[in-house]
Amino acid sequence: MDLELISIALCPFVQSSEVVLRLKDIAYRLTIIDITNPPPWFEDVSPLGRVPILRIDDQHIVFESAVINEYLNDIASDSLLPEEPLQRARHRAMIAYGAAVLADLSGAVTATDESEFDDAAYDLDEKFDYLEDKKSDAVFFDGPEPGLVDACFAPLFARLDILKPARQLLDPGDHPKLDAWSSAVLRLGAVKQAIDSEFTALYRKSTKQRDGWLGRQL
């Protein structure tokens, strides 16, 4: 199987799929496209016009990050989701919640002035309060080994870490369990390989180029 993961630069949802691929030790190749000037074949493989796309072969593609990640989880051994139905549903819900947290972070990054940034940071902090309450005492989200939830939160934690010189949005004093979880996820080899130093430089540069309030602090 020659899996191709189609992405744009800086896409957090593609990064979560890359983490899953590496946790599962599944071989793949990454294709980066320019979404503003996509190749002619992109419309055929992306019915929603966005990434990520997982091309399995010439006839089969999978789209939407959460669906891609569950497919990858299903084709390899050692599931990254719990077997018990209610726990499995809880993990899926947290993955969806993670996408909402990323949206709030995007709002903070694009805020044009300090007041707008503070509003976005407040919304983000409320999400952190919820996560702190739901987080178990385990090293990872819900156990001693990383799972699908951890892979999906890895891009968020990486971005928060890069933004620390400008503003520590995740305060370890207010959210100690969340901070410890973030540190554990960022230490994973699969995360370091999928979200590397090249990404760090690119994300910092991109944040500055937005000319938002937060980027001006970097």
pLDDT tens column, 116-156: 999 999 999 999 999 999 999 999 999 999 999 999 999 99
96 plus 201 within the same structural domain: yes
90 plus 70 within the same structural domain: no
| Strand, coil or helix: 188 | coil
* Cα-based torsion angle of the residue sequence 139, 143, 145, 149 in order, rounded to the nearest 10 degrees: -90
Q: Is residue 80 part of a domain?
A: no
**pTM of the full predicted structure?**
0.96
User: Where in the sequence is the domain holding 204, given as residue range(s)?
Assistant: 85-217
Whose structure tokens read 């899953």? Answer: 20
Q: Is residue 46 part of a domain?
A: yes
Q: What is the pLDDT of residues 12-31, one digit of tens each?
A: 999 999 999 999 999 999 99
d(CA 30, CA 14): 10
63 plus 97 within the same structural domain: no
pLDDT at 2: 87
135 plus 174 within the same structural domain: yes
Number of domains the chain contains: 2
* 78 contact partners, CB below 8 Å, separation of at least 6: 24
172 plus 190 within the same structural domain: yes
**In what helix (H) or strand (E) does residue 180 lie, and over which residues does it extend?**
helix 176-186
Q: What is the pLDDT of residues 150-193, one digit of tens each?
A: 999 999 999 999 999 999 999 999 999 999 999 999 999 999 99
Whats the size of the chain, residue-wise?
218
**Residue at a domain's end among 47, 75, 103:** 75
* Cβ-contact 31, 4 below 8 angstroms: yes
Q: What is the CATH number of the domain that holds 179?
A: 1.20.1050.10
